[in-house]
Amino acid sequence: MCGILAVLGCSDDSQAKRVRVLELSRRLRHRGPDWSGIYQNGDNYLAHQRLAIVDPDSGDQPLFNEDKTIVVTVNGEIYNHEELRKRLKNHKFHTGSDCEVIAHLYEEHGEEFVDMLDGVFSFVLLNTKDNSFMVARDAIGVTPLYIGWGLDGSVWVSSEMKGLNEDCEHFESFPPGNLYSSKSGGFKQWYNPPWYNEVVPSTPYEPLALRRAFEDAVVKRLMSDVPFGVLLSGGLDSSLVAAITARHLEETKASKLHSFCVGLEGSPDLKAGKEVAEYLGTEHHEFHFTVQDGIDAIEDVIFHVETYDVTTIRASTPMFLMSRKIKSLGVKMVLSGEGSDEIFGGYLYFHKAPNKQELHQETCRKIKALHKYDCLRANKATSAFGLEARVPFLDKEFINTAMSLDPESKMIKPEEKRIEKWVLRKAFDDDERPYLPKHILYRQKEQFSDGVGYSWIDGLKAHAAENVNDRMMSNAAHIFPHNTPLTKEAYYYRMIFERFFPQNSARLTVPGGATVACSTAKAVEWDASWSNNMDPSGRAAIGVHVSAYDGSKVALPVQPLKAINDLPMMRGQGVVIQT
């Protein structure tokens, strides 16, 4: 992933302003350490920090049309760029970059071309002929993007909040599946698939059709001119991504696949990841971290991921640590399994979905919110070290296929041996040529923050209890009236976030509301007992997770807790009491 920054229509075209734009663009250099570029036309500035994945030799940005009147700065990948180039026979291309098609498509179709792009992207396009511009973000929000407005009437666009938060009077997260046009002065939703209105679909479940759709989504994301690998936790989603990738590389006689896993010593993910890697024959790399390693990284994680959401920070930290190790091995791109749980109702709280309509509507809500949670985590935690994460489950065509299924097929029915994500498991249950061992294919869902080791979350809670006292909590609503933290862990993260991003606009970019095991606030209503155990961990799904928290007990610290890695932290407990 790259980093983009644009300042459009500002009242200052001086050298000092250019220097300021360059300074702000450098704050995004971790996203694109390979090259920097800036373009200025009057009072418009387009800057770019490049991570070179496709055409590393000639694809530096900004990119142009033939006469350089159309200028574009892009973060993302366009997987169907070769097909689009064939349609643009009358155009001359200057680079092999997959993103150059954007400038030429605009020449042909104006602002109506965005839905033609098959990929993930955030871009700013400037038409120097009439000084107009447009901004667009991909369908689900896999790539991060923020938009802000200056007092001088300028419009600011940045891949990360830190590129514009100090210079804008107001800024916000750019809505996924939308474009912003200077001609209309507002947003327009370009992505509006049938599932978006949450009407219950009725397409019968066809296992092979679902399998083919996902295989296509994975294979198209292997477009790369640099070394790549897969993140492999040993759960269903990452294992399927790895299995399809390994099979494709074997069939095409390509190089051996590298796989990567992170966890505390003895964690569920390390064990399962190693087993899957041995089955698939990947070159496997295990990275171990301690609870203290994670705690030491929390401030860096919050600075890079730009959130105070508890579950996002819990999961981002091991991913952040692993990304640094992966990049040190010379790998620049990895495939990851985000999005499956939202599409198929894979979180454990979906066991309590009362009917197929409620299940379908909850999956719709979850997908629409992904840009605030897992997409944000997967992108920014890896981009902190110039590593790109690609997420095949969030392929636009695959989502359309999966979300058109009659949601009755996604309902969890233990009496019929249908566990969470049964439709996906069944699609890849092939006895003749197995993708995965049966026990991996039907392994219970583990959220990433749980799977790296249960004591990770327990240790975070203990550390927060050392740093946030009861008096601080009693005044939380006065100090943080918006999204008031309800736990000491949430308060601790919020203090760090506010130090980096003190603006009111910044705190408004982070979602809030009641949640259990990563549910939306609406789904909390499915089970009355959940209101007494509001925690985003999968273990909060009492009566579902095999290591669920004890719903009848709440562990209260009797003295400050220490997050020491060698303390015996018992599986299934919310915190550890040091006596």
Q: Quote the longest CA-to-CA distance of the chain.
A: 76
Measured CA to CA, the distance from residue 175 to residue 509 in angstroms comes to: 11
Q: How far are the Cα atoms of 61, 142, 394 from residue 98, in angstroms, in the given order?
A: 12, 17, 19
Nearest to 318 by CA among 336, 332, 330, 333: 336
What length does the chain have?
A: 579
Q: Which residue of the set 2, 10, 168, 364 is catalytic?
A: 2
Q: Is the peptide bond before 193 cis (omega within 30 degrees of 0)?
A: no
Q: How far are the Cα atoms of 381, 390, 422, 486, 533 from residue 527, in angstroms, in the given order?
A: 33, 35, 22, 20, 11
> Residue 220's Cα: distance from chain center in Å?
19
Is 429 known as a binding-site position? no
Measured CA to CA, the distance from residue 58 to residue 78 in angstroms comes to: 16
Residue 364 bears catalytic tag: no
Is 455 known as a binding-site position? no
Is 529 known as a binding-site position? no
**Token pair of 222 as six digits:** 């292997």
Measured CA to CA, the distance from residue 566 to residue 171 in angstroms comes to: 44
Question: In sequence order, what DSSP letters do the residues of 339-379 get, joined into one string?
Answer: THHHHHT-SGGGGG--SHHHHHHHHHHHHHTGGGTHHHHHH
Residue identified by tokens 């033939």 is 66
Is 98 known as a binding-site position? yes
Sheet holding 155-158, edge to edge: 35-41, 44-50, 3-8, 155-158, 146-149, 170-173
Phi, psi for 484 (deg, rounded to 5): -55, 125
> H/E element holding 226?
none
Is 431 known as a binding-site position? no
* Cβ–Cβ < 8 Å for 260, 322: yes
Residues with a known catalytic role = 2
Binding residues for ATP: 231, 262, 336-337
User: Which residues are part of a known binding site for L-glutamine?
Assistant: 98
